[in-house]
Amino acid sequence: VSAAGFALDPRLAAGSAFVTDWPLVQVRLRHDARFPWLLLVPRRAGVSELHDLDTADRAALGAAVLAATRVVQDVAAPDKINVAMLGNVVAQMHVHVVGRRRVDAAWPGTVWAAGEAVAYAPDALAAALAAYRAACARLAPS
Amino acid sequence: VSAAGFALDPRLAAGSAFVTDWPLVQVRLRHDARFPWLLLVPRRAGVSELHDLDTADRAALGAAVLAATRVVQDVAAPDKINVAMLGNVVAQMHVHVVGRRRVDAAWPGTVWAAGEAVAYAPDALAAALAAYRAACARLAPS
């Protein structure tokens, strides 16, 4: 399976910032300063459900999810990590990896029912991206 | 890693019915007739986050998640499948695999923000469990 024809959904592009490319997936930071929230988007055209990926890509996705949980743990030291693949709004496959704190804006509910996103201030976004990029480089899936 | 010391959290037990045991995980049906909703609970003591599982168990969990999406597809033919590992309320690791329809009670929102569960009628629960058990036997992870 190749990346030919892959194009990031415009809603995913608008709602998040590029962090880095890992094997298979593009890592992005959701534009919501309330939560340490990464998105993993497989660079594959036309994939929506797990069974749309071949065996090698599923293994790579699993490794990327594990690595992303370690990145969020490293950067944000949350109380819990939420991992989800939903796709009800944007069908293009993307995995949410979200650090949660017992005092955050949605706890114990989910981040998808937490109201409007809060934008990062420009310098805060730059600092967050730098922190995630450093952690993604150090903890990249092999 | 052994199953020694594994005990199902009483909230998971109360909120779902036993379907079958697969390698690593117990498969359960959530008591909510609005959604075709399976839970996968690794039979491991003290695991909450992905990195609490060893490599072999993570591979088994990935295979179980894939198989469960096939079971839900087979039984319910949904429009989309949601997969999530949250654990904000019950820390014991459990993966939600939920078939979604564009006309269901929560679409396009998530099932965790969909209000009160609707109980199965007794005969409907028995029929659902029979259907899921048959599909789980046919589509079990190898």
pLDDT digits (tens, 9 = 90+) for A40-98: 999 999 999 999 999 999 999 999 999 999 999 999 999 999 999 999 999 999 999 99
What is the dihedral angle through the alpha carbons of A114, A119, A123, A124, rounded to the nearest 10 degrees?
A: 0
For the stretch B71-129, pLDDT in tens is 999 999 999 999 999 999 999 999 999 999 999 999 999 999 999 999 999 999 999 99
Count chain A–chain B contacts defined by CB atoms under 8 A: 89
Indicate yes or no: CB of B109 within 8 angstroms of CB of A112: yes
All residues at 6 or more sequence positions from B13 whose CB lies less than 8 Å from its CB, including other chains: none
Q: Give percent above pLDDT 90 in chain A.
A: 96
Chain B 78-137, CB below 8 Å of chain A: which residues?
Answer: 80-89, 91, 100, 107-110, 112-113
User: Chain A residue with minimal CA distance to B89?
Assistant: A108
Q: Does B3 touch chain A (CB under 8 A)?
A: no
- Chain A positions touching B73 (Cβ under 8 A) are 49, 51
| Rounded-to-integer distance, Cα B53 and Cα B44, Å | 9
Given a contact cutoff of 8 angstroms between Cβ atoms, the answer to whether B140 and B134 are in contact is no
Checking if the pLDDT of B1 tops 60, the result is: no
Tokens encoding A95: 């995995």
pTM, whole model, 2 decimals?
0.97
